[in-house]
Amino acid sequence: MKKSIFFLVLSFYLSDLYGAYSSLEIATLEIQPSYNSMQRFPGKILPLNFSKLAFEIPGKISQVTVDIGDQVIKNQILAFLDPAEMQANLNQSLARFDLASQALTRFKDLKAKGFISNQELDKANSEYLIAQAQVDLYTVKLEQTKIRAPFSGFIQNRFLDSGTVVSPGVPILEIIDSTSVEAHVSIPVNTIENLNIGDSYNFLINKKQYPAKFKRFAQMSAQGSDNRLCIFEFDSFINPGSISYLELKQTINKRGAWVPSTALSQGTQGLWNIYTLNRDSNNQYQVSKEIVELIHAGKDSAFITGTIENGDMVVAGGATKVIENEILRAN
């Protein structure tokens, strides 16, 4: 339901001001069954992928090929351990594999001629398989002397340099994704009920709007809060760490009307006052004070409810312009 406030500027003769005339701005109320509310929820922009990279085996760092801020591509080698030991182990296992392969070939030939038993052939075959497994193992170990980029991105941190002896799992580099980002937003459960997974919602970032798809949300909160963490994914890349605001336009089913904010004056017990004009047959207006409830406050207007009716004339300026029970006569 759109916001509707109609203004009139009327000149009145104020009975208690010695014949002076003044103009009042009058808002004519339009009762509505609901109103639209724009809510903003702050969010944190994070890269879709974020990893601390480490070696899987111990060793001495031979070289780190990248530094903070460098852009890298998936599978690019970022750091090396000294590969001498693993290369030697691989060379040794390759020699054993070659020997086992030749032996197995000879044993198969001897078995075909009936010179050896099945047991001896099985033993030769087992030694061949063991030697092959050793080659596979040290091939993997040699590859583990390298750190490769798991995805395309930027180097966020570099923790260690060449010459450092490291244990498995000690972080060497930190990398963030350069292709996609997501927003993490804490949203009340009753608001999440109005969101649909897969739908697109707008975020305000650096005074620009960006659409993002609602991916998922946490079903529970460890802190017992009524809020849940919601994840939104962007199609375009946005600098991680940017301040973002999820903008949600909601329709609230509540009877009331919009009035200019200047029409409200503070009442008691959390309620507010407005001043209305009631015309009689002599073209005179009496000022009445109405007690209303403030439902939603906007920048320049407010949505109120109470004993107001459609077409009521409300004085913009409220108590600063008129006095309750004052008699006005239109000019």
Domain boundary among 250, 267, 294: 250
Q: What is the pLDDT of residue 187?
A: 92
The partner residues of 293 in beta bridges, in order of sequence, read 305
Task: Classify residue 278: in a domain, yes or no.
Answer: yes
Q: Please say if the pLDDT value at position 282 is more than 90.
A: no
Same domain, 132 and 25: no
| CATH value at residue 65 | 2.40.50.100
Task: Name the range with the highest mean pLDDT among 20-29, 172-181, 214-223.
Answer: 172-181
Same domain, 113 and 164: no
Same domain, 205 and 243: yes
Q: Is 180:233 a contact under the CB 8 Å cutoff?
A: yes
Q: Comparing 199-203, 225-229, 301-305, which segment has the lowest mean pLDDT?
A: 225-229
Q: Please say if the pLDDT value at position 278 is more than 90.
A: no
Q: How confident is the model at residue 180 (pLDDT cuts 50, 70, 90)?
A: confident
Same domain, 190 and 241: yes
Q: What is the pLDDT of residue 14?
A: 52
pLDDT tens sequence across 101-130:
999 999 999 989 888 999 999 999 999 999
Q: How far is CA 168 from CA 53, 57, 273, in A?
A: 11, 5, 70
232-246 burial by CB neighbour count: b if 16+ within 10 A, else e? bebeeebebeeebbb
Q: What is the pLDDT of residue 2?
A: 53
Q: Is 77:191 a contact under the CB 8 Å cutoff?
A: no
Q: What is the distance between the terminal CA atoms of the chain, rounded to a whole angstrom?
A: 35
Per DSSP, 326 falls in state: -
Same domain, 321 and 207: no
Q: What is the pLDDT of residue 17?
A: 42
pLDDT tens sequence across 54-78:
999 999 999 999 999 999 999 999 9
Same domain, 275 and 318: yes
Three-class HEC string of 209-274: EEEEEEEEECCCCCCCCCEEEEEEEECCCCCCCCEEEEEEEEEECCCEEEEEHHHCEECCCCCEEE
Same domain, 238 and 271: no
Q: Comparing 47-51, 94-98, 197-201, 231-235, which segment has the lowest mean pLDDT?
A: 47-51
| CATH value at residue 267 | 2.40.420.20
Q: Comparing 40-44, 151-155, 173-177, 277-281, which segment has the lowest mean pLDDT?
A: 277-281
Domain boundary among 144, 161, 193: 144
Q: Kindly report the length of the chain.
A: 331
Task: Classify residue 245: in a domain, yes or no.
Answer: yes
Same domain, 192 and 241: yes
Query: How many domains does the chain contain in total?
Result: 4
Domain boundary among 200, 223, 250: 250
Higher pLDDT, 285 or 272: 272
Q: Please say if the pLDDT value at position 22 is more than 90.
A: no
Task: Classify residue 1: in a domain, yes or no.
Answer: no
Same domain, 192 and 44: yes
Distance CA 271, CA 275 (A): 14
Q: Please say if the pLDDT value at position 11 is more than 70.
A: no
- CB-based contacts of 302: which residues, under 8 Å, 6+ apart? 258, 259, 260, 261, 264, 294, 295, 296
Burial class (CB in 10 A: 0-12, 13-18, 19+), 202: middle
Q: Please say if the pLDDT value at position 10 is more than 90.
A: no
Distance CA 244, CA 165 (A): 42
Task: Classify residue 214: in a domain, yes or no.
Answer: yes
Q: Looking up tokens 């017992």, which residue turns up? A: 224
Sheet holding 59-64, edge to edge: 146-148, 77-81, 59-64, 165-166
How many other C-beta atoms are found inside a 10 Å radius of the C-beta of residue 207? Answer: 5
Q: Please say if the pLDDT value at position 133 is more than 60.
A: yes
Report residue 320 as tokens: 């600063």
Same domain, 262 and 286: yes
Same domain, 150 and 137: no
- CB-based contacts of 102: which residues, under 8 Å, 6+ apart? none
Could you list the residue range(s) of the whole structural domain that residue 91 is in?
A: 83-144
Task: Classify residue 200: in a domain, yes or no.
Answer: yes
Distance CA 11, CA 248 (A): 41
Task: Classify residue 102: in a domain, yes or no.
Answer: yes
Same domain, 153 and 300: no
How much is the average pLDDT of 282-289?
85
| CATH value at residue 103 | 1.10.287.470
